Chain A
Amino acid sequence: MKTKISIKNDLEAVKVVREYMAEKEAFKKAAQEGTATEYMKAKAKQFVQPV
């Protein structure tokens, strides 16, 4: 099953997707430096998760 959507005409959505992918790339770079676990812990603290 595959769902296809397009956001190419939604500039705000495109901008946010690019930020998301940049964040994934930052994770990847941290992994290449051997610090992905610490990076993930730091990122997790940025969100206050509901209980």
Chain B
Amino acid sequence: LAPWTVSDQKIPQGRLALVSYAAVFFVVLLLVGFWKLEVVQSDHFADLAEKNQVRSIPIIAPRGAMLDREGRVLVDSYPSFSILLLRDNAKQDPKSLELIEEGLGIDKSDLEGQLEAARFEPKFEPIIIKPAASEADIAFVESHRADLPMLDLMMVQRRRYPHGQMLASAIGYVGEVSQPDIDKYPDRFRPGDIVGKAGLEREYDQQIEGTDGMRRVVVNSVGKVMRTLDDVEAIPGKPIQLTIDEDLQEVAEADFDKDGGKAGGLIAMDARTGEVLAMVSRPTFDPNDFAVRIPPKEWAALNSDPQTPLLNRAIQAQLAPGSVFKVVEAVAMLESKAIPANFTAYCPGSATFYGHLYHCDHAHGEIDLHRAIVASCDVYFYNVGKMLGIDRIGQYATGLGLGQRTGIDLPGEEPGLIPSEAWDERVYHHKWYPGDTISVAIGQGPITATPVQLARMIAAVANGGTLIAPHLLKDETDLKTGSFPISDDTVQQVTDALWGVVNEPEGTTSGTVKLQNVDFAGKTGTAQTESFALQAKLGKHVKENGWFIGIAPRRNPEIVVAALVQGAGWGSSVAPIVRDVVKAYYDKKEGHFQPPPPPQTAGAPAVPPSAAVVAPSSDLVASVGTGAQHP
């Protein structure tokens, strides 16, 4: 026995028992703790556990296509892949960045910048390093799954505009939903949603947007998808059929692109129904540029371009109608009977009113209404305007739909302006200058109109006063037409004169746009963009805007085409564009339409072919919005 064990060997039984009680006490305490979590608060924690592991991933619905009146595709959607860089893998080998740089052609410093910018985002949220992957990019990712596991593909639905700039101003473009829109419709939009931003994309956004699906997946603690719980498939957006005729559209576009391109706009409509057959605006843009993600620099350039490529001139260009307005004048003169129908004037090439000298193109001599329209005599209409007075002119102009929106199914239509004495006093706080009436009489001065308004006006004059409702959606039923009855006699006199413009030797088109077997009529217009006084001051001659509004046949027309070419000089140079569209319409009707030769302009946008996308094996679909990725 060891010497140190010989002392008092009484075991302290009481104190040992106390230790036992302490053990029981602590175990009971722990059980209470577990009871509190597992029984009292178990619902709360079950909820948290669910939130931990289940993540909802939206499946983006493809937007509906846009078809022309014959079912040809003008706009559609295609699945495209964005390349993601996953960041939940802690080890980022600098060598793999080099590999990525080489394989995907992304600058390494760009990648590092993106990684740095996302440093404080949750690690399981990947960053998009390439929004629109090419076929080669997808192949690269697929073949490097093993050595570059941080790369993944995300499927997104992207908008495709196979014809590039064609009809772009009417179609509009898509983009990421804006914060105000999210605030306004919190149920409809989520951040990062792609929505229609302009044109038809915006107007019919709700019809074509479809319903996004939802995939619920189980993720592990580092955010990796382990399995799918359930899938609610996306419902693709419905296609919409437009009234546009692709053939006519191409003809019109080709004419605007000829000879280095023209600025301006065109609208062709079925003059009986208001169906828009073609709509052009120049300069324009390529909506494909917006479909991926438009770089801020490009967007700023488009927005600040003095040529305003984002403007749809067919409905937004508010310009002086020039001599086209003489048609309104003629109707006012004949219908109001304030002036006898056989009124004649003497045109020596200019005339003086209220102490000012007003010009005319020619000295037309003794001239009546028919010749005054055919040859577009200003002096005749100065006199008519003076006799009618501004308010009576305004009454007829307004009746024929000028100075107000036509209600076409596109956002941002402009109303134009028809002045009156009351308007002048309200806006400028002075009495109407009678001299302005003389200017307005020939469509100059404080009067503006848009191409779509002028097309509808001429169509109304030719059909006896029915104001058609311009529209682009084929099966639009809710059409608001207007009525401003015009007597047959007036219709006959005015439309005969319009026929003369095209077909008589004295007509302002000099017979250059005659069409065989087509009852083609129309009116030219030439509008100064600055006053003669200002031009004199600037010491240079700014070219006038040219107009031509054509109809066929001259009475109860089937087609009406309004064209505007800015800086065209004389309106007669615009007439061939209108003629080509009208001719194409009749050629199609008679079955011998020849499509125009393809445009010579190089640099047509490279549009990805629909069947060229390889399906990736990845399960990860659209788990991030593109919202956070903006620079």
A and B together in one complex: no
